Amino acid sequence: MSVFVKAAELGSFAATAGVLEISPQMVAKHIAFLEAQLGIVLLNRTTRRQSLTDVGQAYYERCKIILSEVESADSLAFDMHTKPKGIIKVSAPVTFGAIRMPSFISRFLSSYPEIQIDLSLNDRFVDPLEEGIEVMIRIGELEDSSMIARRLAPYRLIACASPEYLAKRGNPDTVAELTMHDCLIYTNWSTTSLYRWRFTRNGKVEEVSVNGRFRCNDWKALLHAAISGFGITLGPETILDQEVKAGRLVRVLNNYEGPSKPMHVVYPSLRKPTIKQRCFVDEIISEFGMQEDIC
């Protein structure tokens, strides 16, 4: 199964042989033995290329899960006698991952010298089994019940602008006044051309449609634009607080609460987490978890 999965992923017997450090002929023998045992053809092979048959594709998907379980069983057997080590594949949202994760990961790697982190940043849905992800940070409501989720501190948003911008355009006192300002719009928060910001005051929700000449799907670009005095940005409180303390930005609408999104660290439930995985998740909760959970 291991040889078959690797051959399906790499697309050639020669490449598979090089990775597994066996001969191409031995790779062919493994595949032929498996096909003979099953009585089916798994791979269509020509002199130039190979491809999975329909049944081969289905068998490949199941083999990945089975081999993952075998790896987990082996890992558990040695957990009591080994230090955390190996590669941890982690997925996180772009903004949170790029700004908040690097310093945390650096400290984690200093504490666990035999661990490596492979961090993937994207804002799309990630299938952990398909992409081999072991730990994920997710912002927003969770819908996938097949995952084990641990709650982190909410992802709170606040509105900020530079002192220079506010000196020219004034400081909005109400949510409605945002319509008279240049707002820096993060396009990933809306699937339509209508961009709405929501705030709460005294338990009452106030929502406004905002406009601006600068829109972007990467919030870090909007942060730099805000610091440069180009408008008002709505972004993560933990990140913007650092800019406020440094004097580069000023919080606006102080008498309102900005939007808040739930945040979790999640990992697949199909197998028991390895020791390296448990260590990483525990450290994430210690760093980014709810204060009452940490205490």
What does the pLDDT read at residue 191? Answer: 57
pLDDT band at 127 (very low <50, low <70, confident <90, very high): confident
Q: What letter represents residue 264's amino acid? A: H
Average pLDDT (131-148) is 84
Given a cut of 70, is residue 237 above it in pLDDT?
A: yes
Sequence-distant (≥ 6) Cβ neighbours of residue 219 within 8 angstroms:
94, 95, 186, 188, 233, 235
What does the pLDDT read at residue 250? Answer: 97
* Entry field: residues in the chain: 295
Rg of the chain over all Cα atoms, to the nearest angstrom = 25
pLDDT in tens, 160-204: 999 999 999 999 999 999 999 999 999 887 655 568 999 999 989
Given a cut of 60, is residue 236 above it in pLDDT?
A: yes
Pairing of strands 215-216, 183-186: parallel
Average pLDDT (225-249) is 95
pLDDT in tens, 50-83: 889 999 999 999 999 998 888 877 776 666 456 7
What does the pLDDT read at residue 81? Answer: 54
How large a percentage of the chain has pLDDT more than 70? 92
What does the pLDDT read at residue 248? Answer: 97
How far apart (Å, rounded) are the C-alpha atoms in residues 24 and 16? 7
Long-range contacts of range 43-46, CB-CB < 8 Å, 24 or more positions apart? 43/4, 43/7, 43/8
Q: Looking at the whole model, is its pTM more than 0.75?
A: no
Given a cut of 80, is residue 143 above it in pLDDT?
A: no
How far apart (Å, rounded) are the C-alpha atoms in residues 148 and 265? 8
Average pLDDT, the chain: 88
